[in-house]
Amino acid sequence: MIEVLSSSALATVQDQGRDGYLRYGVGTAGAMDRLALTVGNLLLGNPDDAASIEIPMFPFRIRFLEDLDFAITGADCAARLGERPVLPWWTTHANKGDVLTIGVPNHGTRCYLSLAGGVDVPVVLGSRSTQLRGEFGGHEGRQLKKGDVLKAIGLIDPAGHVAAAHGAGFGSVPPEHALPAPVSVPCADAGDTVVRVLPAAEYDCYQPQSIDAFWREGWKVTPQSDRYGYRLAGPTLEPVRPIEKRSHGIVPGVIQVPHSGQPIIQLRDAQPSGGYPKIGTVIEADLWRLAQARIGTRIRFVQTTYQEAVAALEELDRYLTRVRNLVGLVRPSRH
């Protein structure tokens, strides 16, 4: 078990998300950076979809109420267990009473604290993820606050006993090193986030100069951005003629253009339908990059094809296979 010692960190319990309920008006929720969540679970020997704590504001502090292995993935934070530095993308063992402090990231914007076995909260509609809009799932349907106590599910050892710690002291190459930026973008700054985009249904409904600006310019992530979506600032995207549409289904990654002409990228807590026209969609393989874009930095869009999007997913799978194989060399299979 762990006790939360921080307030107002906007931390929530998230897993891979709630699939299959968009038709009923229930959004996906789930980790913004699914790749970081998956790797944290793999390192600990957890099921891939075990729940972790997503932390987007810092510092964040917890106290371990039992001996437990953990891993921190995602943004590169200056974490400390007591006075000892904690490596990112690494498994670490905590003793009962230890205090973990996760500091401000050097880069990236959210990290994931994974516990051996996963966070034990009720499964609602097939997921342990927190749905903030609907106030259900996760821990009482809300962000974590000071004084909350969360239990780790625990893993079963080969003898059939629950074991809180299975060994630590190894890690993985972070995806930003194993999966470098997909393409080189002229005039891009080092802090820009480059993501690949497929043109969407209303792409051809915009003025040629707006289409050119969409691909050429860097789009600033505004402070009005959150888990629901990133509101971007840049050139005004103007349609050839006014576009009026009925509400239709949308998914994370869809780039909509409201009447202001400033794009919004829908993310994990987005509602499942909307009426704004769609100019593009960030490919699934790059959503983890998008999740780590900081407020005030710029996002750059690179046009891609369906075949390239599929190939990018396959590259992602190969990276996860390498991590899985590494873990298999260090710890025996428990599932």
Q: Please tell me whether residues 33 and 133 are part of one structural domain.
A: yes
Residues 107 and 255 placed together within one structural domain of the fold: no
Specify whether the backbone of 161 is left (phi greater than 0), alpha (psi in -120 to 50) or beta: beta
Residues 202 and 123 reside in one and the same domain = no
Same domain, 152 and 197: no
pLDDT averaged over every residue in the chain: 91
**Whether residues 130 and 222 fall in one domain:** no
Q: Is 7 exposed, middle or buried (0-12, 13-18, 19+ CB in 10 A)?
A: middle
pLDDT digits (tens, 9 = 90+) for 309-328: 999 999 999 999 999 999 98
Task: Say if residue 22 is in the same domain as residue 121.
Answer: yes
Q: What is the pLDDT of residue 335?
A: 44
Domain count, the chain: 2
Residue 289 shares a structural domain with residue 325: no
Query: Both 26 and 167 in a single domain?
Result: yes
Q: Are residues 47 and 154 in the same domain?
A: yes
* Cα separation, 12 vs 77, whole angstroms: 17
Q: What is the CATH number of the domain that holds 282?
A: 2.40.100.10
**Residue 182 within a domain:** no
Q: Residues 159-217: pLDDT tens digits? A: 554 554 556 788 899 998 888 777 767 667 778 999 999 999 999 999 999 999 999 99
Q: At what angle do helices 34-44 and 306-330 cross, to 10 degrees?
A: 20
Cis peptide before 223 (omega within 30 of 0): no
> Over the stretch 62-121, which tens digit does the pLDDT of each residue have?
999 999 999 999 998 889 999 999 999 999 999 999 999 999 998 899 999 999 999 999
Looking at the chain, the whole-number percentage of residues with pLDDT higher than 70 is 93
Same structural domain, 34 and 153 = yes
Please give the residue range of the domain that contains residue 291: 193-304
22 lies in the same domain as 130: yes
* 170 shares its domain with 199: no
- 38 found inside a domain: yes
Alpha carbon distance, N-terminus to C-terminus of the chain: 22
